């Protein structure tokens, strides 16, 4: 949760849910013939057409997200066994090693994957704990219109009714007994999240047809608490964070084991990811939000379920792809607003993962967050501060800690990256927030709550 406190020009963008291929033709994907296929100008009359393979069934999707879960986990080389269940799931499914959240705090990253759009393009208030108006459409609303139920359960009061995320959900519940603290998370909730999951997913009224389910676990969020169930990793912030991850992993493992006993499990794909990462002193920062450094925006993605074989995908990807991926797994058409593309073909092995020219990251300005943008292309990352006020350039392959700004030493690369940044962000139609509050830059949130309606002739 939020808190206060190679050539690069070829072009660009992980989750736990019910998996299945889309039951529609993907008109956005070009059709490629195998190099060994010969296309004849005429087909002999006796030749019989080759039948197309049957389309996989539409699946349920179970999305399990963990607040503040960093990308450095055991399945990507972290030396501590802090997530044995997630590590097992990673061995059984598809792992993405270069997945990015769109933003570095919850209100904006969640909005991006629920709408398939960047938060700056949505009608929203200008406060840190942003609300989204009915002028926006989140994909569960489209599922609801087709008779598909969505179920959600959460461990922080930000997800209470009124922020807009619950639209389209048939069931939406919070862990009982929690109160709101804008500075931190004071509760231990993974055990209660497990119980809520069993309650909601065990109700046949929610799961008798196709469904989408989303649970957001919050315990790795500070305050970092040691758990008696966990190995003792130590007393420093990262040590206690690791204990939180272990405790959350334990209850996610329990939930998945219970789900395997349910009739809907063979028809469900699971996506496991995070809303953003967490800092432990990198660049002098702690916790999250306010910037787009790697520890804040690199997140895990594990996908497992029917028809999915284990593999690792190292291609550059973004959570802007989550909404089209979930809709594709469920056999539904993408919404016109989606800025990303489905990952289902590469997850299911129907296509090889393709390189993308770039991905875009952003923090749209609010009362606490300054405006931040970033663009990653190949090994290079361009970070943009304020309203194009300054630029930082890093080579992530040679300098994964982003310690050496190359803006002065590689002027030609900087020029290329700036040109790509200008071109790519020109396709993101950002709008100003509304509400009249003073933003971090000193400007006012003087935007609109929705599009201007014009009289029809």
Domain-located, residue 20? no
Q: pTM for this one?
A: 0.86
Q: What is the 3-state secondary structure (H, E, C) of 403-414?
A: CCCCCCCCHHHH
Question: What does the angle CA 247 – CA 252 – CA 256 come to, to the nearest 5 degrees?
Answer: 150
On whether both 116 and 253 belong to a single domain, the answer is: yes
Instruction: Indicate if the alpha-carbon torsion angle 132, 222, 381, 29 is positive or negative.
Output: negative
Average pLDDT, integer, range 227-252: 94
Question: What does the angle CA 396 – CA 400 – CA 401 come to, to the nearest 5 degrees?
Answer: 130
281: left (phi over 0), alpha (psi -120 to 50) or beta: left
CB burial class (10 A; 0-12, 13-18, 19+) of residue 320? buried
| Cβ-count burial 63-78 (b if 16+ within 10 Å, e if not) | bbbbbbbbbbbbbbeb
pLDDT at res. 2: 42
Domain-located, residue 46? no
On whether both 290 and 373 belong to a single domain, the answer is: no
Q: Which two tokens stand for residue 207?
A: 């799961």
Domain-located, residue 442? no
On whether both 369 and 315 belong to a single domain, the answer is: no
Which of 313, 347, 381 terminates a domain? The answer is 347
On whether both 124 and 201 belong to a single domain, the answer is: yes
Average pLDDT, integer, range 332-358: 93
Q: How far apart are CA 166 and CA 148, in angstroms?
A: 15
Q: What phi and psi, each to the nearest 5 degrees, are found at residue 286?
A: -130, 150
Q: Would the pLDDT of 24 be above 50?
A: no
Q: How far apart are CA 270 and CA 165, in angstroms?
A: 20
> In this structure, how many other beta carbons lie within 10 angstroms of the beta carbon of residue 336?
7
Q: Give the confidence band of 1 by pLDDT, cuts at 50, 70, 90.
A: very low
Inter-residue contact 17 to 269 (CB < 8 Å): yes
On whether both 193 and 324 belong to a single domain, the answer is: yes
Query: How many structural domains does the chain have?
Result: 2
Domain-located, residue 301? yes
On whether both 80 and 112 belong to a single domain, the answer is: yes
Average pLDDT, integer, range 128-155: 95
Strands 268-274 and 60-66, by their bridges, are parallel
**Average pLDDT score, the chain:** 86
CB burial class (10 A; 0-12, 13-18, 19+) of residue 361? buried
Q: Would the pLDDT of 400 be above 90?
A: yes
Average pLDDT, integer, range 182-210: 89
Strands 380-385 and 390-395, by their bridges, are antiparallel
Domain-located, residue 70? yes
Q: Give the confidence band of 27 by pLDDT, cuts at 50, 70, 90.
A: very low
pLDDT at res. 56: 66
Q: How far apart are CA 178 and CA 180, in angstroms?
A: 7
| Cβ-count burial 272-310 (b if 16+ within 10 Å, e if not) | bbbbbbbbeebeebebbbbbbbbbbbbbbbbbbbbbbee
On whether both 174 and 224 belong to a single domain, the answer is: yes
Write the CB contacts of 265 (distance below 8 Å, at least 6 apart in sequence).
Answer: 259
Domain that holds residue 94: 60-347
Long-range pairs for 350-357 at CB < 8 Å and ≥24 separation?
350/21, 351/29, 353/313, 353/314, 353/315, 354/315, 355/10, 355/315, 355/316, 356/10, 356/11, 356/12, 356/13, 356/315, 356/316, 356/317, 357/8, 357/9, 357/10, 357/11, 357/12, 357/420
Q: Give the confidence band of 85 by pLDDT, cuts at 50, 70, 90.
A: very high
Q: CA 10, 15, 20, 21: dihedral to nearest 10 degrees?
A: -20
Q: Which two tokens stand for residue 289?
A: 């939000």
* CATH code of the domain in which 283 resides: 3.40.720.10
Q: Would the pLDDT of 4 be above 60?
A: no
pLDDT tens across 353-382, in order?
988 889 999 999 999 989 999 999 999 999
Average pLDDT, integer, range 154-178: 90
Q: Which two tokens stand for residue 277?
A: 């990462």
Which of 347, 378, 397 terminates a domain? The answer is 347
> In this structure, how many other beta carbons lie within 10 angstroms of the beta carbon of residue 176?
9
Which of 316, 347, 378 terminates a domain? The answer is 347
Domain-located, residue 21? no
Q: Is 62 helix (H, G, I), strand (E, B) or coil?
A: strand
Domain-located, residue 33? no
pLDDT tens across 290-338, in order?
899 999 999 999 999 999 999 999 999 999 999 999 999 999 999 999 9
On whether both 263 and 406 belong to a single domain, the answer is: no
Question: What DSSP string runs through 425-452?
Answer: HTTS-----BSSPBPTTS-B----SSPP
On whether both 392 and 284 belong to a single domain, the answer is: no
Inter-residue contact 368 to 129 (CB < 8 Å): no
On whether both 119 and 240 belong to a single domain, the answer is: yes
Average pLDDT, integer, range 211-221: 93
* CATH code of the domain in which 403 resides: 3.30.1120.10
């Amino acid at each position: 949760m939020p808190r206060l406190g190679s050539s690069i020009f070829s072009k660009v963008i992980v989750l736990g849910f019910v998996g299945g291929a889309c039951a529609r033709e993907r008109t956005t994907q070009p059709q490629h013939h195998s190099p060994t296929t010969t296309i004849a100008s005429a087909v002999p009359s006796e030749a019989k057409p080759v039948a197309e393979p049957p389309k996989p069934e539409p699946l349920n999707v179970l999305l399990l997200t963990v607040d503040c879960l960093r990308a450095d986990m055991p399945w990507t080389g972290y030396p501590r066994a802090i997530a044995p269940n997630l590590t097992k799931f990673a061995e059984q499914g598809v792992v993405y090693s270069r997945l990015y959240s769109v933003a570095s705090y919850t209100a904006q990253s969640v909005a991006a994957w629920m709408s398939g759009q960047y938060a700056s393009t949505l009608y929203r208030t200008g406060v840190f704990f942003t609300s989204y108006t009915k002028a926006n459409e989140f994909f569960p609303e489209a599922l609801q219109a087709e008779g598909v139920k969505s179920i959600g359960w959460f461990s922080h009061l930000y997800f209470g009714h009124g922020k807009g995320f619950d639209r389209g959900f048939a069931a939406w519940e919070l862990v009982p007994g929690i109160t709101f603290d804008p500075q931190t998370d004071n509760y231990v909730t993974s055990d209660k999240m497990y119980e809520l999951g069993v309650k909601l997913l065990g109700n046949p009224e929610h799961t008798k047809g196709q469904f989408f389910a989303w649970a957001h676990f919050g315990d790795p969020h500070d305050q970092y608490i040691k758990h008696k169930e966990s190995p003792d990793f130590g007393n420093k912030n990262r040590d206690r964070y690791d204990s939180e991850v272990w405790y959350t992993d334990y209850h996610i493992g329990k939930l998945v084991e219970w789900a395997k006993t349910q009739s809907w499990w063979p028809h469900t794909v699971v996506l496991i990811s995070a809303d953003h990462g967490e800092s432990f002193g990198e660049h002098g920062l702690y916790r999250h939000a306010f910037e787009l450094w790697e520890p804040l925006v690199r997140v895990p993605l594990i996908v497992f379920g029917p028809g999915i074989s284990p593999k690792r995908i190292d291609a550059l990807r973004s959570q802007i792809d989550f909404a089209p991926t979930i809709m594709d797994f469920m056999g539904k058409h993408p919404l016109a607003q989606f800025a990303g593309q489905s990952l289902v073909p590469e997850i299911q092995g129907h296509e090889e993962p393709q390189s993308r020219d770039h991905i875009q990251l952003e923090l749209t300005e609010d009362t606490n967050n300054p405006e931040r943008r970033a663009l990653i292309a190949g090994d290079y990352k361009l970070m943009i501060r304020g309203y194009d006020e300054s630029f930082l350039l890093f080579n992530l392959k040679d300098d994964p800690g982003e310690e050496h700004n190359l803006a002065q030493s590689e002027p030609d690369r900087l020029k290329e990256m700036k040109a790509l940044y200008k071109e790519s962000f020109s396709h993101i139609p950002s709008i100003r927030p509304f509400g009249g509050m003073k933003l971090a830059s000193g400007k006012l949130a003087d935007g609109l709550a929705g599009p201007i309606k014009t009289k029809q002739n």
